[in-house]
Structure 1
């Protein structure tokens, strides 16, 4: 018994469907246009803000103070000694008295060293100190 394989083959040529492709491209275009409107700052009006003596400076990024398990110190990923760190913190506090500091201390770091760093930060004039921790999962 011989099967006729010719009858199972497609008789028509496959066609390239352009309409669904246009729909997908249009959808992507609209998506990216709407997304870009969310990220662009709207500066349609030019205004001159009034001045006030009690106006505060814009918020700055916090200073990230890191202490690893061996006792090495970094500020914003720049390694330094405790004296250099104190000088840098004092300089940042002079520039912005409301600057915040995030202390990232390794859980294996010596407790006395963490307390000494917190004391140094307080003496340097830091008013806003946060201690970083991971959330238990």
Structure 2
């Protein structure tokens, strides 16, 4: 370690300040975590949700079901048919309370949304929400 001598004769040791580096690293960590959270939410299918002026946020959502404009059902970005979705819902229902949000594309038919709701209710789940934009 290099020593610096001052005018009065006392010696000072030069050192590397680590506190600013820790601050920068913490900032980078928070930045990347926030970016990854945004990327994880957008990893599914792209839906054009209808708008609503009165909406409430559901905090305990455990399963999102997407209904595309052509009536396809999607869970976690993977397309499922009725039997696969019913089996997945029954499996998740056994683990405890399950809240489901159905996100229907703006161009999807009302019948497709009702069909998805019937599948969810058929699995014994009554907590169903509909996703909208503000």
Give the TM-score category using the shorter length: 0.5 to 0.7
Instruction: Give the direction of change, closer, same or farther, for the CA distance of 1:33–1:119 in structure 2 (3 Å limit).
Output: closer
Unaligned runs of 5+ in 2: 1-15, 34-59
Map of 2:111 onto structure 1 = 112
Q: Name the structure, 1 or 2, with higher relative contact order (CA <8 Å, separation 6+).
A: 2
Give the structure-1-normalised TM-score.
0.54
For the aligned residue pairs, the C-alpha RMSD in angstroms reads: 3.0
Unaligned runs of 5+ in 1: 1-21, 40-59
Map of 2:20 onto structure 1 = 27
Q: Secondary structure at the match of 1:69?
A: coil
Residue 68 in structure 1 maps to residue 62 in structure 2: no
Larger Rg: 1
Give the structure-2-normalised TM-score.
0.55
Q: How many residues matched?
A: 91
Counterpart Cα distance in 2 of 1:33 and 1:65: 35
